[in-house]
Amino acid sequence: MKEDPFILEFAGVSLSPATPHISGLTGVSLSLGRGEIAIVELEEGREHSPLASLAQGLMSPDSGCVRFKGANWTELAAARISTQRGLIRRVYEHYGWITNLDVMENLCLAECYHTRRSMEEIVREIRDLARRFGIDPVPEARPTRVHSMVLRKLEWVRAFVGTPELILLERPFFGAPRADAAKLTQAVCEAAHRGVAVLWLADDPHVLEECGERVSRYRMNGETLLAVKNGRENKA
C-alpha cells in the first residue's frame, strides 16, 4: 500500500470560536511530511489556538478537513482514532496532567496503553530523557505537589517518549527556564532527523533557526494563517 506523503494535513480548515477563550480559523491549509517542522507564530494576547486539538482529532472543523497519515479524523471509527492518537505526543499550553495519578504514572500512561513495552523499559527511557532536560530524579509525587517549572520540563520528556510520528508543542517554553530552551530545540531537531513531524505553536518567530530547511514558518493574522518565507507573508 502506498504511504501517504503527509503525516498531518489541514485542508481549507475553518472553525468558529466555541468559547471566548478559543480563537477561530478561516481557510487554514498546512501540511507536514516526515521529518518536517512547522513553526506557527501566534499573535501576542490572542486566545488559545485550536490548531493542536484539531491536529489530534479532539476538535472537528466547521468546514475543510484535518488528516493524520492520510485519514480524515471525522471519518474514523473510535478504535482507529485511539490507535492514531497513540502516535501523537503533545506539550499543552496550559496544565496537561491527570491529578489522581503520580508524575511517573502520567509519563508512562500513553506508552503503557498504546504499546507492549515493559514498564521497566518505559521508566528507564523516561529517566534518561529527564536527565537530559536537567531533572534527576523524576518526582514521585502527584503533579499538584510538583513545581510548575519542573512539570513543564517533564511535559517535554513525555513528548519524546517512545516513537511518536507527530509531536505537537503549544508554547512549550511557557513557564520553563530560558536557559533550558536549547535542550528542547536540540531534541526537536534530532526528532525531525529521525522522521518525526513537529507542529510548534510559538511566541518567538525565530525559534528553531538551527534546523534550517526542515522548518516551514507561518504566522497567525487574526483567523488567517500566513506562510512566511524570506521575510514575506502570503496566505497559506
**Separation between Cα atoms, residue 49 and residue 17, nearest integer Å:** 10
Instruction: Give me the mean pLDDT over the 118-143 stretch.
Output: 97
Q: What is the pLDDT of residues 137-157, one digit of tens each?
A: 999 999 999 999 999 999 999
3: which DSSP letter? P
Q: In the structure, what pLDDT confidence band is assigned to residue 37 with cuts at 50, 70 and 90?
A: very high
pLDDT at 202: 93
Q: Where are the beta strands (DSSP E) in the chain?
A: 8-15, 25-32, 37-41, 63-68, 71-72, 88-91, 166-170, 197-202, 215-221, 224-229, 232-235
**pLDDT, the chain, mean:** 93
Statement: residue 2 has pLDDT above 70: no
Instruction: Give me the mean pLDDT over the 28-53 stretch.
Output: 92
Q: Which three cell numbers stand for residue 131?
A: 536527565
Q: What is the pLDDT of residues 10-27, one digit of tens each?
A: 999 999 987 778 899 999
**Separation between Cα atoms, residue 114 and residue 102, nearest integer Å:** 19
Tell me the domains of the chain and their CATH numbers: 8-235 (3.40.50.300)
**Separation between Cα atoms, residue 153 and residue 133, nearest integer Å:** 7
pLDDT at 231: 64
**Separation between Cα atoms, residue 154 and residue 109, nearest integer Å:** 13
pLDDT at 58: 96
